[in-house]
Chain A
Amino acid sequence: MNWTATADVVALVCMLAGAVLCLLAGIGLVRLPDVLTRMHAATKPQVLGLLLVLVGAGLRLRNVADLTTLVLVGLFQLLTVPVAAHMVGRAAYRTGRTDREHLVVDELATGPYRSSGRPGGSGGAFGASDGGVGGPARRDARDGSDRPDG
């Protein structure tokens, strides 16, 4: 058994695993009840499933230029998916889409901007966050600096 046949078999196994992760994400998206839990399901194929499929495609292609493109796609996905998930989760928190009573740790609620996240309590927080690019960015900086002591 030469190494190309082995690479083909490994590529097929990788692609099958990636497809199964995509299917799990679909099932989780349909069944889970909350935005955060749906994110928990939906971010599996975005990173691990896609990386497995890319590894499979790279094992099938076996070309340096194509491998460079695949590595680029994988790196870009690894960089952008956590940022997007962070922003979606934060928007879910601020619009009250989370189940606050069942959170184990709620670090955003213990900070000095305790009232800013409640949707029914104060609409002014969202008005402030709508004010432009500078507003939410500054609040993010404060939230990040609060995290070690909170």
Chain B
Amino acid sequence: MDTVLSVVIAVLLASGVLVTVRLVRGPSTLDRAVALDALVAVVMAGIGVLTAARGIPYYLPALLVLSFLGFTGSVSIARFLALRDEAGSEDADVGDDGGGADDGEGGDGGRTAAPGSGRGRGPRLHGRGREKGSGG
């Protein structure tokens, strides 16, 4: 029991670190918004695990507050901040792709897996299945 709970907490900590990496170096504001949502979800899962491990219900209102805060933050970023920051700034877009060499260390497998992506603007890679899945 305690071993499984330790494994769960370790996995949650590792995912929090990974999400924080994207939160720090996400190229655009929207990447950071998405990472912030995921981070809030990870923290909520951690509070749920803490509640279950100790058997005390006093942290449950914090779950409600975190849910509301995550929703408000992401909607306000998407609505007001992102459109205003990057309106018509194509150069910032290109710069982000150039700075997206950080994708190169992790994304090489995906780059070779999508060999037909060389027709358009090069750094924007990846196939159609993911776009379709993310759109739905």
User: Footprint of B on A, CB under 8 Å?
Assistant: 8, 11-12, 15-16, 18-20, 22-27, 29-43, 45-46, 49-50, 53-54, 56-57, 59-61, 63, 65-66, 69-70, 72-73, 76-77, 80-81, 83-85, 87-92, 94-99, 101-105, 119-120, 123, 126-127, 129-130, 136
Interface residues of B in 82-122 (CB under 8 A from A): 82-84, 86-90, 93, 100, 103, 106-107, 110, 117, 119-121
A35 with B31: CB separation less than 8 A:
yes
Cβ–Cβ < 8 Å partners of B130 in chain A: 32, 34, 36-37, 40
Query: Chain A binding site: helix, strand, loop or mixed by DSSP?
Result: helix
Contact of B126 among A54, A81, A99, A104 (CB under 8 A): A99
A26 with B18: CB separation less than 8 A:
yes
A120 with B88: CB separation less than 8 A:
yes
Cβ–Cβ < 8 Å partners of B132 in chain A: 104-105
B128 with A16: CB separation less than 8 A:
no
Cβ–Cβ < 8 Å partners of A34 in chain B: 124, 126, 130-131
Interface residues on B, range: 35 or more
Report B1-43 CB contacts with A as 1/0, cut-off 8 Å: 1001101110110111111011000001011011101100110
Q: A88 — nearest CB in chain B belongs to which residue?
A: B78
Given A25-B15, A130-B84: A19 touches B45 (CB 8 Å cut-off): yes
A88 to B61, CA, bound (A): 26
Cβ–Cβ < 8 Å partners of A42 in chain B: 19, 34-35, 37-38, 41
A50 with B52: CB separation less than 8 A:
no
B49 with A49: CB separation less than 8 A:
no
A76 to B103, CA, bound (A): 34
